[in-house]
Structure 1
Amino acid sequence: MTQIDIQEILDIIKDDLSWFQPKNSPEKLQGGLLNYVWRVNGEPKPIIIKYFPPYIATVPEVFLDDRRMLIEARALQAFQTGGIFSTLNTNKIRPPQIYYADEVRKFLVMEDVADKNSLKVNYNWVLADSSGQEAGKLIGNFIGNLHDLSFSRTDLAEGFENFSIQKTRLDLQYRAIAPLLKDEEIEDYQILGDKVSQLGEKYLQKGKNVIMGDLWPTSIIPVADGLRIIDWELAHYGYPAQDLAHFAAHLWMKRERAQTKDEAEELDRMLDSFLDSYVCALGSHRQDILNSQEIIDCSLHFAAEILVRTIGNFKAGYLYDGLAFNSSPIQKAVRTAVNHLRFPDNVTTFSSLVS
C-alpha cells in the first residue's frame, strides 16, 4: 500500500509556495472517499493538500488509477486565468484555484474553499434560506456552459481522456445492476442490466464534451458568496447524461429522505431549476448535446446511481444506510429505478430537457 509523508510534501512545496507560511501541523480531513486530504493553516490563507493513492482510500484493496490526479490538475488549470474555461468562473460559482501539482508523487495543492474540519458537507446547505432554487440555477448554468463550450472540441478529448476511471465505473456500477436486480427478484433483470452495461461501455468511448464526472452535492461547497465545485478527478470527455442524471439521482434520493415536506419541495425546485438553467445555457449546440438518445441515457444512469446507493456497494454511509432491503423507502427506490430502466423514454424526470 502506497503511503506518503505529509511533512515531505510541505518540504517539497515550500520553495514554489514561498508566499505561504504554515502556522501549525497539517490536519487530516475526514470524509474523503477516494483520496487523502489535509488542511494546512497558514498565512495569508490556509491551503488544501490532496494525495491520490493508486487505490480507493476507504477501500484500499480496490485499485483506482492514480493518474486521475492529472485529470483534476488539468481541469483546475483550465479554469485558471487564461485557461480554456476561465470565462465560466464567477464570484458565485467556480472551482478552487490550483497552486501546485506534483505529477510524480501524485498530489495537488489548492485553495481551501471550506470552513469545516471535515469533507462531509450537510446536504441541508441547499435548503438554507430557501436557496435550493437559486443553487440549482447556478449549478445548471455552470454545467451547461461547460458542456456547451467544450462541445465537439477534439483538442480537449485527448487531454481529458480518463479511460481507466470510466472502466472502474463500468465494473463497479454499471455491470453491478443485473445481479442487484436479480437479488430483488426482478423478472427482466438481465434485460435491464444489459441496458446499463451497454451504457457503461458507451462511456468508455470519446463523447461530446467535457464532463465534470462527479456532480453531486458533496462536490459542491457553500461559501459566503456562492458555491465552489470540487473533486474533478473523474472529469472526462464524455456524455452530458453522466452529469445531469448523477445530480438528479442524488437530489431525488435526498428528497425521498427529507425530514419535512418543505425540504422535499425545496429539493424538487432545485432539480427543476438545475435542469431548466442547464438547457438555457446550451445555446446553438442544444440539439446536438441533448438529442433523444441523451435523454434515454439520463434515465438509465439515474436508475443505476439510485440502485448502487440504495441496494449496492455504495449504500454504506449514505442516505439509505441502515435500512432493511425490504423497507418501504428502499423498495420505492428500486421501483423508481426499474421504471426508469424499463421505460427510459417515457418518464417525466427529464422531460424539461426535451425540446
Structure 2
Amino acid sequence: MPALSEAEEAALSNQLLQELAPRPPFACSSLTRLSGGSTNFVYRGTLATPRPSGVKTVIVKHFKGSLSINRDFPVDISRCIIELVMLSALPGFSLTTTALVRTPFLYYHNSEANTQIHTDFSDTTDLRAVLLSNPTLDNSISPSFPPPLTLGRKIGSWLRGFHNWASSPPEYELRAEIGQYESMRKLKHLVNYGTLIGILQKFPDVLDGSGDLKALEEVKAMADRELERQPALRERLPPRRDDHLWGIIHGDFCMLNVLVSNDSKRAHHEAGDVDKLFVIDWELAQYNHRAYDLGHMIGDLYEQKHFNDADSAMLCVRGFVEGYGGLSDELAFRTAIHVGTQLIGGYNRRPKRGNATAPEEMIVDMLRVAKDFVVKGWEKDREWFEGSPLAPLFTNK
C-alpha cells in the first residue's frame, strides 16, 4: 500500500492534536500538512495560545517506521532518536558561531509516540527555489535574493565550521552516540553505492568498456570498506591518517534542507548580504566521511544546472567550495566521486511519469557525466577535472 488515504491522514492529524492538547505550551488549534518530504509526516501547527516570545506556529514532526509516501518501504525509527540527539547538541555549536546560520530548536519530544516539535522557520524560501527564481549568471544585487556566490560561501563556511566542531575532542561522546546508529548510514550507502553499478548497466552506452566497470567496482568496494569504519576511540594512538576527514555529518545536506530568510530578500537592496540561513532535517546525521555532505550539496546544485539550466547553481557551487575552503586533493577527489554517485543514485528518485519527467536523452547525458565524475575521481585525473564543472574543487585551495 502506498501513501495514507485522506481519511487516514485526517485521523493521524486528529491523533496528533489530541496528543498535544494536554500540553498547553504546545497545544495546537490546527495542523497543516507540509509538502516536500517523503519520509515523515510534517505539519505546521498553529498554537492555541501564542508563546510569550511571540511565536505563533511550530513544526510538528511525526515519525513512523516507513516512508510517509509509501508505507511498504520500511525506514528505521532510530532516525527519530538521531534528530533528538542532534537538536539537543547543536546549541553548543551555535554558541561558537555567529547568528547568521541557525538550526531548529527542539521544543518538545515524545519518544513513545515518536513526535517532536521544532522551530518553524516560516518566513523562508528553500535554496532550490531561491536559485530557480534567478537562474542566470547575474551575480549583482537585484530585487531578488542575495547573489548565489554569496549564498554558496555562507553555506560552505557554515558546513566547515559544523564539521570541525563535530570532529573536535570535546564532542567525542556525541560522535560515539551518533556512531552507534548505523541504519541511516547503511541507507545512505545503499542509495549512493549499492545501486551504482546496477543503474549504469541499464544504459550500456554510458559505460566505456571494461575499464569503467572495473573503476566502478573498485569505488563500490571502497565504500563498502568505509561502511565498516567506526568513530575512533578517545585513547587510541596514533590517529588514523585520514581521521580529519571523518566525523558527524548532516547526512542529507541538500538544497531543500537549507532555507533562506525572506528578510534577505527585503533587505537585499541595502545590504547585499545574507540575513539568515537555516539548516533543517537532522534525522540522517551519522558518522561518515565529510565528502558525503560536500558531494550531496554539489550534486544537488549541478542537477539544477543540468535539468533546469540554472547557471546560478554553478555560481553557488563555486561559492560553496570557496566558503568551505582548504580542500586537500584527497578530499577533492573523494568529493568528486560522491557527486557522481549522488547524481547516479538520483535516477531512482526522479519521477518516471508526469510533467516533471525529463527526456531520456537528458537523463542519459546526466548519467554519462556523473559516471565520468566517479571514474575520473577514482583515477585522480586532476587535469580532467580542471576543465570540468567540478573545477572549483581543484582550483580553490
Question: How far is 1:181 from its partner?
Answer: 1.3
Q: Which amino acid aligns with 1:33?
A: S
* 1:247-326 pair list within 5 angstroms: 247-259=297-309, 263-264=310-311, 266-279=312-325, 290-309=327-346, 312-316=347-351, 321-325=356-360
- Aligned with 1:96: secondary structure? coil
Question: How far is 1:71 from its partner?
Answer: 0.9
Question: Separation in 1 of the partners of 2:151 and 2:219?
Answer: 30
- Residues 172 and 62 (structure 1 numbering): CA distance in 2 closer, same or farther, change over 3 Å? farther
Question: Separation in 2 of the partners of 1:317 and 1:94?
Answer: 36
Equivalent in 41, 45, 57 of residue 46 of structure 1: 57
Does structure 2 conserve the Cα–Cα contact (< 8 Å) formed by 1:211 and 1:243? yes
* 1:69-148 pair list within 5 angstroms: 69-80=80-91, 83=92, 85-88=93-96, 90-115=98-123, 121=126, 123-126=128-131, 127=134, 128-148=144-164
Q: Which amino acid aligns with 1:334?
A: L
> Which residue is equivalent to 1:5?
12
Q: Which has the larger radius of gyration?
A: 2
Q: Which amino acid aligns with 1:351?
A: L
Q: Which amino acid aligns with 1:271?
A: V
- Residues 13 and 124 (structure 1 numbering): CA distance in 2 closer, same or farther, change over 3 Å? closer
Q: Percent identity?
A: 20
The reply to whether residue 30 of structure 1 matches residue 35 of structure 2 is yes
Question: Separation in 1 of the partners of 2:127 and 2:164?
Answer: 30
Question: Separation in 2 of the partners of 1:88 and 1:191?
Answer: 45
Deviations 1:125-163 (A, max 9, x none): 134345211211111111100111122543222221231
More helix by share: 2
Question: How far is 1:173 from its partner?
Answer: 3.0
Question: Separation in 2 of the partners of 1:338 and 1:78?
Answer: 37
> Which residue is equivalent to 1:283?
none
Unaligned stretches of 5+ in structure 1? 280-285
Cα RMSD over matched residues?
2.8
**TM-score using structure 1 length:** 0.83
Question: Separation in 2 of the partners of 1:316 and 1:104?
Answer: 35
Deviations 1:30-87 (A, max 9, x none): 221111111111224101111111112222222111110111111111123xx3x122
Question: How far is 1:91 from its partner?
Answer: 3.4
Question: Separation in 2 of the partners of 1:14 and 1:86?
Answer: 31
Equivalent in 153, 159, 178 of residue 160 of structure 1: 178
Does structure 1 conserve the Cα–Cα contact (< 8 Å) formed by 2:321 and 2:393? no
- Larger RCO of the pair (alpha carbons < 8 Å, separation 6+): 2
Does structure 1 conserve the Cα–Cα contact (< 8 Å) formed by 2:20 and 2:26? no
Question: Separation in 2 of the partners of 1:332 and 1:175?
Answer: 21
Q: Which amino acid aligns with 1:110?
A: H
- Residues 173 and 113 (structure 1 numbering): CA distance in 2 closer, same or farther, change over 3 Å? same
Question: Separation in 2 of the partners of 1:317 and 1:142?
Answer: 35
Deviations 1:175-211 (A, max 9, x none): 1111111111123354243234234321452362210
- Residues 299 and 258 (structure 1 numbering): CA distance in 2 closer, same or farther, change over 3 Å? same
- Farther off after superposition, 60-69 or 183-192: 183-192
Question: Separation in 2 of the partners of 1:247 and 1:317?
Answer: 23
Question: How far is 1:291 from its partner?
Answer: 4.7
> Which residue is equivalent to 1:226?
276
Deviations 1:213-271 (A, max 9, x none): 11111111122232211111111121110000110011111122335xxx40x222211
- Residues 219 and 88 (structure 1 numbering): CA distance in 2 closer, same or farther, change over 3 Å? farther
Question: Separation in 2 of the partners of 1:245 and 1:308?
Answer: 12
- Aligned with 2:16: secondary structure? helix
- Residues 61 and 8 (structure 1 numbering): CA distance in 2 closer, same or farther, change over 3 Å? closer
Does structure 2 conserve the Cα–Cα contact (< 8 Å) formed by 1:78 and 1:86? no
Q: Which amino acid aligns with 1:96?
A: P
Does structure 2 conserve the Cα–Cα contact (< 8 Å) formed by 1:79 and 1:89? no
* 1:128-207 pair list within 5 angstroms: 128-151=144-167, 153=169, 154-161=172-179, 162-185=181-204, 186=207, 187-188=209-210, 190-201=213-224, 202-206=226-230
**TM-score using structure 2 length:** 0.75
